[in-house]
A and B are shown apart, each in its own frame.
Chain A
Amino acid sequence: QQPVQSPQAVILREGEDAVINCSSSKALYSVHWYRQKHGEAPVFLMILLKGGEQKGHDKISASFNEKKQQSSLYLTASQLSYSGTYFCGTETSGGSNYKLTFGKGTLLTVNP
């Protein structure tokens, strides 16, 4: 079953912040975040492992609450280059096949 992402779409002005949520009905081993620009392939951003770890990547960070089976992606002081569709991918068992189930995506548009 696909994880649920919210919101489906968000429009920002440059410099504003955004939060994208990913929620699963199953217990999670890890959560992966990807960004896909229009007409291109998805690109890996970061992985969150079981343990409530928060990670950062430039001004993009994420958290993982394994008890709530949720992850959130935080985009701070957004830049035009942040525009794209963000996908979370969830892994329900550790390590044997690295198989991910992706959400439907959140379309982020950053305007000047």
Chain B
Amino acid sequence: NAGVTQTPKFRVLKTGQSMTLLCAQDMNHEYMYWYRQDPGMGLRLIHYSVGEGTTAKGEVPDGYNVSRLKKQNFLLGLESAAPSQTSVYFCASTTAGEAAQYFGPGTRLTVL
């Protein structure tokens, strides 16, 4: 089992460019989450999904979109990147009755 994987690991964008971050899990989890982590701010929830085809906004959704077309994948899109979106992005997943959220290794994104 690979657990939760994230692609890419690192990325540098110019302001205004777009990109998609991919999260994949092989644990058949229903619930998936995208967080951003900035120094001194902890983990803040961007969007989440409670099942295939459903998504919902978290605490800091502005500037991001998500899609969950397949149960195992959760995509995070930046349509027009801004320097304020420079961050480390973590994906996590869990299932009903499971206490833990399982995190991917993270994607370090820099927007110039």
- Find out whether the CB atom of B42 lies under 8 angstroms from the CB atom of A100: no
- Find out whether the CB atom of B99 lies under 8 angstroms from the CB atom of A47: yes
Q: Mark B31-73, 1 if CB is under 8 A from A, else 0.
A: 1010100001111110010100000101100000000000000
- Find out whether the CB atom of B94 lies under 8 angstroms from the CB atom of A98: yes
One of B19-27, B78-86, B102-110 contacting the partner: B102-110
Take A32-B99, A44-B99 as given contacts and tell me if A99 and B58 are in contact as well, using a CB distance cutoff of 8 Å.
yes
Take A98-B31, A99-B58 as given contacts and tell me if A104 and B48 are in contact as well, using a CB distance cutoff of 8 Å.
no
Q: Which residues of B contact A (CB under 8 A)?
A: 31, 33, 35, 40-45, 48, 50, 56, 58-59, 90, 94, 96, 99-106
- Residues in A neighbouring B33, C-beta threshold 8 A: 99
- Find out whether the CB atom of B42 lies under 8 angstroms from the CB atom of A99: no
Take A2-B42, A41-B106 as given contacts and tell me if A101 and B99 are in contact as well, using a CB distance cutoff of 8 Å.
no
Residue in A41, A44, A95, A102 whose CB lies within 8 Å of B42: A102
Q: Which of A44-87 contact B (CB under 8 A)?
A: 44, 46-47, 87
- Chain B: minimal CB distance from A56 (Å): 15
- Residues in A neighbouring B48, C-beta threshold 8 A: 97, 99
- Residues in B neighbouring A43, C-beta threshold 8 A: 103
- Residues in B neighbouring A104, C-beta threshold 8 A: 40-42
Residue in B58, B59, B100 whose CB lies within 8 Å of A44: B100
In the bound complex, CA of A15 to CA of B43 (Å): 29
- Chain B: minimal CB distance from A48 (Å): 10
Sample of 13 A–B contacts (CB below 8 Å): A2-B44, A32-B101, A41-B90, A42-B43, A43-B103, A44-B99, A44-B101, A89-B43, A97-B56, A99-B45, A102-B44, A104-B42, A105-B42
